Amino acid sequence: MLVFVAEFGRSGGVVIGMPMEIGIVGIGRMGWVHASHLIEIGRETGACALAAVVDGDVSRLERFRGEMQYRGPVFLSVED
């Protein structure tokens, strides 16, 4: 399967083949599910990437990084 993601560029044109970068705010039960699926889809297809994870619980962020082997940015709040 070949997947392309189309996004509108700043000039109004369509950018094809660029991964869609998505951030997750809150990695409780459902946030964790969504983030893990983004990572999986990104690894399998390159169509998307988990751009950042935000959660106020440091231990949850550390557990997520370890279990999901996520090396992207993490933040304690959206203001960070």
Q: What's the pLDDT score for residue 72?
A: 94
Q: What's the pLDDT score for residue 1?
A: 26
Q: What's the pLDDT score for residue 62?
A: 97
Among 53, 49, 62, 55, CA closest to 21: 49
20, 48 Cβ separation under 8 angstroms: yes
pTM for the whole thing? 0.75
Name the stretches of the chain with pLDDT < 70.
Answer: 1-17
Q: What's the pLDDT score for residue 11?
A: 53
Which residue range(s) make up the domain with 30?
19-75
Q: What's the pLDDT score for residue 15?
A: 56
Q: What's the pLDDT score for residue 69?
A: 94
Flag whether 12 is in a domain.
Answer: no
For residue 68, the domain's CATH number is: 3.40.50.720
Flag whether 10 is in a domain.
Answer: no
Q: What's the pLDDT score for residue 5?
A: 40
The number of distinct structural domains making up the chain is 1
